[in-house]
Amino acid sequence: MTCLEFRSILDRYVDRELSTDEMRRADEHLTGCATCREELASQQSLKQLMSGYVPPVQPPDDYWDQARDRVLAKTVLTADREQKQTDTLVDSHSYMPVMRSVLSVAASIALLAIALVLGSRHDRPAVVLSNQPHQVIVTAEMAELLKSPDGGPLTLGDQRRIGQASILMGGPGMVGRFNFLPGLLRIY
């Protein structure tokens, strides 16, 4: 075995992945080659050093529970609230449809105007995301934030999850759902 050959199997040597035959030939080479012995020693001590590595800093003990609560707030608890919202909206759906649609037209236009005005600041146009069945009007910056983390299209589930406080309005055929996103309010 040459030095070059030995170097090419050094990783496998250290990770104990060589066959008995390969191992024997490697050891033969090592007996006669101080340079490769040194190389092996440094590779082995690196592996040993790494195996004992623990991050030098650890969060305080109560961090773990708090972090878990925050995740639950973003997932489980949000899903519950969505369910409740949906239930309420379905219940009210049968009442006073005419009155509701008149009010909601006015409100929808007002909100659209607000969204457009807010959105037009800082050269960020408002965009309409229409991943049916509801339309969500958000500023471009919010659209950026709302983008599904996986890079795919924004699903209705994503919209619901992120929209912490949302209002559903409008009669048949009207623009329906507006999300008051905390981020939107914070930006301006």
The contact set with other proteins (CB under 8 A) reads: 11, 41-43, 45-61, 64, 67-68, 70-72, 74-76, 149-150, 157
**Cβ at position 104, least distance to other proteins in Å:** 31
Is residue 13 within 8 Å of 40, Cβ to Cβ?
Answer: yes
3 binds, among Zn ion, other proteins, none (CB under 5 to 8 A by kind): Zn ion
Taking every pair of Cα atoms in the chain, the longest distance, rounded to a whole number of angstroms, is: 95
Distance CA 168, CA 49 (A): 58
Q: In the complex with other proteins, which residue's Cβ is closer, 54 or 98?
A: 54
50 binds, among other proteins, Zn ion, none (CB under 5 to 8 A by kind): other proteins
Task: Name the DSSP class of 33.
Answer: -
Write out 114-179 in H/E/C secondary structure. Answer: HHHHHHHHHHCCEEEECCCCCCEEEEHHHHHHHCCCCCCCCCHHHHHHHCCEEEECCCCCCCCEEE
**Cβ at position 17, least distance to Zn ion in Å:** 19
27 binds, among Zn ion, other proteins, none (CB under 5 to 8 A by kind): none
Q: In the complex with other proteins, which residue's Cβ is closer, 66 or 120?
A: 66
List of residues contacting Zn ion (CB under 5 A): 3, 33, 36
